[in-house]
Amino acid sequence: MKKKLAVIFPGIGYHTDKPLLYFSKKLASGYGYEILDVSYGGFGSGIKGDAGKMRQAFEEALTQTEKILEGTGWDREDILFVSKSVGTAVASAYALKHGLHPRFIYFTPVEASFQVMQEPCIVFHGDQDPWLDHQIFREKIRETGFSYHVVKGANHSLETENVDMDLTNLQEIMRQADGFVRKCSDRIK
| pLDDT(15) > 80 | yes
Strands 121-126 and 103-107 turn out to be parallel
Where does the pLDDT of residue 35 fall: very low under 50, low under 70, confident under 90, or very high at 90 and above? very high
| pLDDT(125) > 70 | yes
CB 131 within 8 A of CB 110: yes
Q: Residue range 8-36: average pLDDT?
A: 94
pLDDT tens for each residue of 61-79: 899 999 999 999 899 989 9
Res 13: pLDDT: 82
Q: Show the beta-strand stretches assigned E in 48-164.
A: 76-84, 103-107, 121-126, 147-151
105 phi, psi to nearest 5 deg: -110, 115
Q: Residue range 81-106: average pLDDT?
A: 96
| Residue 142: strand, helix, or coil | helix
Residue 170 CB-half CA count within 13 A: 17
- CA–CA separation, 86 vs 140, rounded Å? 16
Q: Residue range 161-186: average pLDDT?
A: 92
Find the range with the poorest average confidence among 32-41, 98-107, 155-164: 32-41
Q: What is the CA radius of gyration of the chain?
A: 15
Maximum pairwise Cα distance, the chain: 46
Res 189: pLDDT: 47
Model's pTM, two decimal places? 0.93
